[in-house]
Structure 1
């Protein structure tokens, strides 16, 4: 998508209260969001602790892969509207878009959000707006308000002053699809959850600068839970498909044919099974609900457990293929295994929480023979796989050299080449079956 066209389509608002925007966290959400404001001719300060990312952006480049983002960043930086730094600077609005992983026992880890809050606190002034975009457990926006108050006793925040704070605070989760971020960021509706109605109103004004979809107002807790609910819904439905695939393996039924037939029912829409669930949202967010209401979130917890168990099930299928090759007279250390796909979903380079990468790493640790990794969207193996016995190769080379082919991600590039009949295949996506 042409960046100039994006900016031209952005809605025109009468208010011009947010001339400078500071975005903390320049990853897969923060950088596109910063660029969206910059294309709308706001002065944008992007903040990240990664010096390489900062330097790359200031040269007009990108450190992540997302269609159209490179052109948009180059335009924004070249036009003087976007620059990056490692330290927050004064602005009219601050957006926090930092990671929110979980720690031991699937407990939410808000260290990055707290660090971002304490980093922006020194440069806050009366009239500013702070928006948390990071996917977070319910109550996180209230905690953000308290963290800021601890740092700035001279300012009043919503939990102290109600409708008349010095600094307004809201929650607005991202809801974009990797690979389509630079379109959906502008077109999708946004859920605005202020700590007060006045906070929500100010946040609506901010996002109205570039969002063409509706800005729907609620409160912070509902907005936080809405984001978690959207991803938990997907997780539960994927778990049904994954569990079904394991049942069908036991009953010797082709799960792909089964799902295609069942989906001909007018009120049935079963998703496609895979090697597990990955990414920074669906594989993480449901645990935030479980942590907040452990006694009630029984189905959500079970879905997470089903999806988390799927990589182990795939490894068992690979082991069966290896044992079959041994029965055919091959020694285990002589077998070459190729894994097709490392990213968490098709046609992107994103390896975060990827079940495919987890499977590849476990396989590399277990298999005594050579291993080939095929991932068309990266140029170097990730650190976990960067070892002598693992080689990053193209699809044709892998199909030629492998004895066992494990399809983990249904990249378009893999559909273009059918595997030779001699290969033993473990297909988790139904692409070659």
Structure 2
């Protein structure tokens, strides 16, 4: 089967490689010439465990090529970004999806399959994409097949999860669902769940919204603990011993291409009936300000204004900085006049010896749960002006410094003498 994938980012590239290593001939299309050039030189441009080895396999089989434009294919997969619009509810910006669909229309033939994998607002496939195909002269469900099949993967384990996770197949018609399901059956070992396109869209969005709401509850608890001088981490530990309770840990905010973005799409589609979702977004979006406010208090008695940030990505063990609260916190601290050093072994511009990053620093601020941060060596803390750590991700296990967490900050910030 010949497949063209539009968009070679964190989802489009692994998806393309997956199909290419299962016998399909894949043409990967991206608007960035540097991405295309890098791939055609034999290297992937994202950090993802095991993906380079799979890419090598696809190239050896002659089943993948990168290009700037589509070509004739049996199936087309849209995997482009869907950022937020700058409007009241931060609705879904469909410009990349619309452009990608338009780019496929000159190559579409009767019997082709068009899959939208990009995360999109509810009813987009029906109300936006389907009319585009019909305007081009196709009858969806008869001579062209259209479906929304959202990804549901964990960065850092994408190659495995694309194969083994359940996959929703949301066709515009039952015939569309059947054709799309047949294609995914060639690679996916997990359950293939049939649905309508709109059900698939909203299901994907609610998966991430569920997590966002639960994270917001933990973050709100951290604020309550600070206000009432109660150790929120201990509260979470005890509450989670209840057989039907699973509170998350608080953190510096929510980032990435899913949790920090998708809930807005639901709220924008139905603003009157989504107050809980909107409140959760407000809570999680406020966490960088909460972190900066309390870092400022911790630094009132510090010997200098130097802070070393550990981690810039939105989650651990990856190189993805999209919507990262760590970056927002770094910028806020720099604007507040702090001397900030950014250290992240997964981000090129922030890679340096750990001792260099910590030299003369008065605070290590851990903002990402990279495995490298579980142990902070004495060689790093002994060169600090003040050996103090604020671990916002509850990741640090071994250290040689005074350690604070978001859930028990009252022990530190509420006891700092206020300057007159």
> Matched residues in 2 for 1:346 and 1:255: separation?
23
SS, match of residue 150 in structure 2: coil
Q: What are the equivalent positions in structure 2 for 1:95-134 lying under 5 Å apart? A: 95-105=77-87, 106-134=90-118
Q: Give the corresponding residue for 2:371.
A: 412
Q: Is 1:217 aligned to 2:194, yes or no? A: yes
Query: Residue 360 of structure 1 aligns with which residue?
Result: 330
Match of 1:378 among 328, 335, 347: 347
Secondary structure of 1:202's aligned partner: helix
Deviation at 1:426? 2.5
Aligned equivalents of 1:265, 1:399: Cα separation in 2: 40
| 1:429 and 2:393 are equivalent in the alignment | yes
Matching residue of 1:89: 71
Q: Give the aligned CA root-mean-square deviation in angstroms.
A: 1.5
Matches within 5 A, 1:174-213: 174-213=151-190
Task: Confirm whether residue 344 of structure 1 aligns to residue 303 of structure 2.
Answer: no
Alpha-carbon contact 1:22-1:89 (below 8 Å) kept = yes
Tell me the residue number matched to 2:26.
44
C-alpha contact 1:395 1:414 (8 A) present in aligned 2: no
Asked if the contact 2:115/2:146 (under 8 Å) is kept, the reply is yes
Q: Give secondary structure in 2 for the equivalent of 1:137.
A: coil
What is the CA-CA distance between 1:400 and the residue it aligns to? 4.0
Whether 1:296 aligns to 2:266 is no
**Distance in 1 of aligned mates of 2:331 and 2:305:** 17
Pairwise mapping of residues 129-144 of structure 1 onto structure 2 (< 5 A)? 129-142=113-126, 143-144=128-129
Q: 1:398–1:256: structure 2 CA closer, same or farther, 3 Å change rule?
A: farther
Give deviations 1:357-385, integer Å, cap 9, x for gaps: 111122122225x321110112215xxxx
Correspondence for 1:264 among 213, 238, 241: 241
**2:259 is equivalent to residue 274 of structure 1:** no
Determine whether 1:65 maps to 2:29: no
Residue-by-residue CA offset, 1:147-187 (whole Å, 9 max, x unaligned)? 2333x2xx3232xxxx42x2110000000000000000000
Q: TM-score, normalised by structure 1?
A: 0.87
Structure 1 residue matching 2:271: 3-state secondary structure: coil
Alignment check: 8 A CA contact 1:311 1:359 kept: yes
Contact 1:133–1:172 (Cα < 8 Å) also in 2: yes
Q: Partners of 1:270 and 1:49 in 2: how far apart? A: 41
Instruction: For residue 418 of structure 1, report the CA deviation from its aligned partner.
Output: 5.5
| Cα distance change, pair 94–221 in 1 and its aligned pair in 2 (3 A) | same
Residue 129 of structure 2 is aligned to residue 149 of structure 1 = no
SS in 1 for 2:121: coil
Q: Which residue of 2 aligns with 1:403?
A: 362
3-state SS of paired residue (2:18): helix
CA drift at 1:410: 2.1
Structure 2 distance, partners of 1:268, 1:356, is: 28
Distance 1:74 1:55 in 2: 15
d(CA) in 2 for partners of 1:73, 1:365: 42
Q: 1: distance between equivalents of 2:321 and 2:66?
A: 24
1:49-108 superposed Cα distances (whole Å, 9 cap, x missing partner): 011111111122101010011111122122210001000101000000000011112021
- Counterpart CA distance in 1 for 2:61 and 2:35 is 19
Partner Cα separation in structure 2 for residue 40 and residue 112 of structure 1: 28
- Among 304, 307, 331, which residue is 2:284 paired with? 307
Aligned residue number for residue 13 of structure 1: none
Query: Contact conserved, 2:82 with 2:96, CA < 8 A, in 1?
Result: yes
Q: Is the 8 A contact 1:93 1:130 kept in 2?
A: yes
Query: Quick check: 1:61–1:70 contact (8 Å CA) kept in 2?
Result: yes
Q: Which runs of 5+ in 2 are unaligned?
A: 397-402, 405-420
Give the Å deviation of 1:267: 1.3
Deviation for aligned residue 1:322: 2.2
TM-score norm. by structure 2 comes to 0.90
Question: Shift of residue 246 of structure 1?
Answer: 1.1
